[in-house]
Structure 1
């Protein structure tokens, strides 16, 4: 396949990661508004967040089926358009049950985009011949910054909230249309799989239960924890800053923005960083740094220092997952086409469903205790990775 085509596909994939981050993080400044509009307590809000994650988890395994039949490009097209159309409704629905339905559908779209863009990114990386996954996830974080701050600024400077949401939706559709033709089509993806697969299928366990492997689940569990922290920042950071630090609702997304900036910078440089450092330094050191960041943002009496905690969390967590993905693709006797989807699904389960657990912890204890549990989970990741075989 021509180098120009692969370069164009790489750029198009970067834009899709940007679109996904933008779509998902636009929900962050809407959370406090939805909580107030629907008169929800923390447990009720947690249940709604669970519906969002549930929609994603329902669609993730189905997405793999659709991708195998239609290719990632068509799946990306359908899911991005659907997410863009649903986004404004998250800001105007005033019935709790209808809001649950809309959030579930929106989660379905986000889950589908996640699976499709990562599948597409793996194929492009194989054809490109160099690591690109960290930088792709860096563009997702850039989208997180734009979504978290963009919607809030549009509303703050006088634009009607519904028109602000429609503006974000139009941007999502515009970016998709701009890059759609450069995404790999179904035939091109099949050619890459055949040419660049490093697995001898005759030596791979043929059982459909080959994903039932301890190493796969261990990597998936650690991915769950790291992605849970991202989901917590998306769904709870705005409320934490508003209710615990006195930040205005319009700017309550600033914590997630600081986290996203740090994630973006570290991931955009992460491909070279991972290649230079030992994986244990990236994972163990990053986990400890992330835990420290969470404790700082919780206990600091100053907003500026709390924002520094968000930054430390982003710096520490940024490149842990790419290490897990790389190891998941090298498990002896198991095909990466089986292991990577399992690890990805477990990871994104943490991002999209895990924060609902924080809602229940916050309801029965406090939001500070819920955030403290995140720090503890990062320490668990460091210990597991330190002593794993």
Structure 2
């Protein structure tokens, strides 16, 4: 196969792996209310259970780098995708909160591992292209968020049981992953990933990491709580409760697919300022306006605003003076994913003490902190 064709095939395959990750993770969003009702969980109990997903992902991420060093990112991506596909329907079959938490832990491990491996592939493909194309990969992940959240609800509305609908999604994930495996770049073309001892973040790395934590928390709170909010606070039909995360994912996908041009025109500081303010406004509109449509509009604004903030943070992490990227990037990334995958458990505790709208409004308040903390940076 000619080199250009091989590179193009690798790019398409990597895009589809990002799609698999997005579909797999977001399919959990409309399943949360079913699990909550089936097990009789209150918001605090659900928050504790949801913590398992984040714990599995975060604890697996450091080991994923070791596995990629040994076996290559495409093998790790395939195995991780199969784990996600296998455990997705099992989330609805759990008979107790403990079993659900354990299943979520393994599911989260698969999500964390595929996230690391697909980004490793994306770096390789981008190097081959010789230009910045990373936003398109993350845009495909957001598109997967749309397809997963609204697709599972559509299958349920069509008459399938939630478990059968989840199995259908899983079959699709397996088919995509297996067919695209051969097109991913082999281990022989990968660079060794540094695997030194962990360094605790401090100074500007810690500040940047905490801002990344907040923005990822905003994303994660919609993944885990938007369907619950729409169903129990805005009286949405269960089969339509995933539409909020779907709307958020569409907005984020559009903005990420056009993000490189936006950052080039406005500059990174303005993208963070305007984006964080817009996302904060979205949360406040969703929880303060009593109309169902306002909640969807609010989630769209969150997607539009937050989409390009994290790419700016990752770029900034690689440019912190006197701090090697090999130290800054893993620290910022880990703190960020802690916000997305573990942070929503905090929402459950706040919601139990106050209410879910108050908890989501609190996230909006944190985004104002991000906007005005980063305003003097570039």
Deviation at 1:123, TM superposition (A): 2.5
Aligned-partner Cα distance in 2 for 1:6–1:161: 39
Aligned to 1:29: 30
1:141-220 alignment runs, 5 A limit = 141-190=142-191, 208=197, 212-220=201-209
Give SS of 2:374's match: helix
Deviation at 1:88, TM superposition (A): 0.8
Aligned-partner Cα distance in 1 for 2:120–2:331: 12
- CA offsets, 1:286-309, max 9 Å, x none? 000100111111111222222111
The structure 1 residue matched to 2:358, chosen from 363, 369, 372, is: 369
Check if 1:118 corresponds to 2:107.
no
Aligned to 1:97: 98
Q: 1:254 to 1:209 in 2, by over 3 A?
A: closer
Q: 1:42 to 1:210 in 2, by over 3 A?
A: closer
Q: Is the 8 A contact 1:28 1:238 kept in 2?
A: yes
- CA offsets, 1:192-225, max 9 Å, x none? x79xxxxxx9xxxx98566645222222211111
**TM-score w.r.t. structure 2 length?**
0.95
Aligned to 1:382: 371
Deviation at 1:38, TM superposition (A): 0.3
Give SS of 2:320's match: coil
Q: 1:10 to 1:341 in 2, by over 3 A?
A: farther
Q: 1:118 to 1:338 in 2, by over 3 A?
A: farther
Aligned-partner Cα distance in 2 for 1:108–1:356: 17
**TM-score w.r.t. structure 1 length?**
0.92
Deviation at 1:329, TM superposition (A): 2.0
Check if 1:238 corresponds to 2:227.
yes
The structure 2 residue matched to 1:354, chosen from 343, 354, 367, is: 343
Deviation at 1:8, TM superposition (A): 1.9
Q: Is the 8 A contact 1:152 1:251 kept in 2?
A: yes
Count of aligned pairs: 377
Check if 1:312 corresponds to 2:301.
yes
Aligned-partner Cα distance in 1 for 2:215–2:134: 16
Aligned-partner Cα distance in 2 for 1:144–1:286: 20
Aligned to 2:20: 19
Q: Is the 8 A contact 1:84 1:173 kept in 2?
A: yes
Deviation at 1:4, TM superposition (A): 2.8
Aligned-partner Cα distance in 1 for 2:338–2:120: 17
Check if 1:57 corresponds to 2:58.
yes
Check if 1:302 corresponds to 2:291.
yes
Check if 1:140 corresponds to 2:141.
yes
Aligned-partner Cα distance in 2 for 1:210–1:239: 37
Q: Is the 8 A contact 2:31 2:162 kept in 1?
A: no
Name the Cα RMSD after superposition. Answer: 2.0
Aligned-partner Cα distance in 1 for 2:319–2:225: 35
The structure 2 residue matched to 1:225, chosen from 211, 214, 218, is: 214
1:38-49 alignment runs, 5 A limit = 38-49=39-50
Aligned to 2:281: 292
Deviation at 1:63, TM superposition (A): 1.0
Show structure 2 runs of 5+ residues with no match. Answer: none
